[in-house]
Amino acid sequence: MKKGVMRPGHVQIRVLDLEEALEHYRDLLGLIEMDRDTQGRVYLKGWTEVDKFSVVLRKADEPGMDFMGFKVLNNEVLSQLESDLTAYGCDVEQISSGELKGCGRRIRFVAPTGHSFELYAEKEQTGKWGLSNVNPEAWPRGLKGMKATRFDHCLLYGPNVEATYQLFRDVLGFDLAEQVVDPEGNRIAAFLTASMKAHDVAFIDCPEPGKFHHASFFLDSWEQVLRAGDLISMTDTSIDIGPTRHGLTHGQTIYFFDPSGNRNEVFCGGDYHYPDHPPVTWKAEDLGKAIFYHDRVLNERFLSVLT
């Protein structure tokens, strides 16, 4: 049942070198640089996003994900979810308005998989980049690289996928859109949505907590995904796999790495989910096809290369 969580709002990614990371996220993915703060963090977003930013880059000693944030409907929902999380047994940390520039009060908790998540209700709205809200043109000129349209979802690896799924379902109102189930009936992957998208966040079981598999950005067409592949080669960017199609969600995709080794995805298409839809199930025995629909075999990296 919906609890007022709207969408993935931001992800803070740790990088080893900020300038290299900017060349990647701004010039190659085509995200728009929106701001910087006194901590040296850089704020970016996809051009179709109305809120001020969705990706925050922070220089650190080790790459990975600091946290992923979801925007909720309003402040009443935020307060309600805060008490619901506490009642569920989560430690809820308060982060004051403005700690991320242009973002209102946030609450943060750690899921059983070891990842930090945030909820917030308010963020400055700068509008779609380069377009007016009145009689908008089809797209803005001057976009760079892959012209990524929006931050879409993260795939995260950690233990206790089941407990994390229950927390997201029972407290935050996410639906299970797709799952991978092993022969003993254990759910080893949960693809969760708060919207009609096939996933807003996904989890895959792994012994090490808090691992980051990828942050994903949406493109409009298969042609754009192929063009992204061309740009990856032109810039000698580290490729993982693709262009190909996923079995899970059926999105058309390419995986590659940022200069600090964090995996990125750009994709298009994908299934949709309504709250009354039963989850789609993939069998763990067929994980190769579930992940890479054309090759039908996993590459070793999919399960073991994480930040």
Binding site for Fe ion (CB under 5 A): 216, 265
The nearest distance, CB 17 to Fe ion, in angstroms, is 25
Q: What would the two tokens of residue 133 be? A: 């809200």
Three-state SS at 223: helix
What residues contact 34, with CB distance under 8 A and at least 6 apart?
43, 44, 45, 52, 53, 126
Taking the least distance from each CB to other proteins, the nearer of 4 and 259 is 259
How far apart, in Å, do the first and last CA atoms of the chain sit? Answer: 33
55 pairs with which residues across the strands? 11, 44
For the segment 76-135, give every residue that binds other proteins (CB under 8 A).
none
**Cα–Cα distances in angstroms (integers) from residue 159 to residues 120, 162, 243, 291, in the given order:** 26, 9, 29, 20
265 binds, among Fe ion, other proteins, none (CB under 5 to 8 A by kind): Fe ion
184 binds, among Fe ion, other proteins, none (CB under 5 to 8 A by kind): none
Alpha carbon distance 207, 228 (integer Å) = 33
Phi, psi of 230 (to 5 degrees): -60, -45
38 is a site residue for other proteins (CB under 8 A): no
Taking the least distance from each CB to Fe ion, the nearer of 193 and 216 is 216
The nearest distance, CB 274 to Fe ion, in angstroms, is 20
Using CB under 8 A, count the residues that bind other proteins: 21
Give the residue among 8, 23, 127 at the shortest CA–CA distance from 65.
8
179 binds, among other proteins, Fe ion, none (CB under 5 to 8 A by kind): none
For the segment 262-301, give every residue that binds other proteins (CB under 8 A).
262-263, 300-301
150 pairs with which residues across the strands? 218
Binds other proteins (CB under 8 A): choice among 238, 241, 284, 303: 238
Taking the least distance from each CB to other proteins, the nearer of 40 and 136 is 40
Largest CA distance in the chain: 55
The nearest distance, CB 214 to Fe ion, in angstroms, is 6
Alpha carbon distance 82, 256 (integer Å) = 36
62 is a site residue for other proteins (CB under 8 A): yes
Give the residue among 271, 161, 258 at the shortest CA–CA distance from 207.
161
17 is a site residue for other proteins (CB under 8 A): yes
Binds other proteins (CB under 8 A): choice among 8, 9, 30, 63: 63
The nearest distance, CB 29 to Fe ion, in angstroms, is 14
Torsion of CA 300, 298, 245, 284, to 10 degrees: -130
The nearest distance, CB 216 to Fe ion, in angstroms, is 4
Catalytic residues: 153, 199, 214, 246, 255, 265
17 binds, among other proteins, Fe ion, none (CB under 5 to 8 A by kind): other proteins
For the segment 250-269, give every residue that binds other proteins (CB under 8 A).
257-263
The nearest distance, CB 214 to other proteins, in angstroms, is 11
Give the residue among 131, 137, 182, 136 at the shortest CA–CA distance from 161.
182
76 binds, among other proteins, Fe ion, none (CB under 5 to 8 A by kind): none
Binding site for other proteins (CB under 8 A): 16-17, 61-64, 238, 240, 257-263, 300-301, 304-307
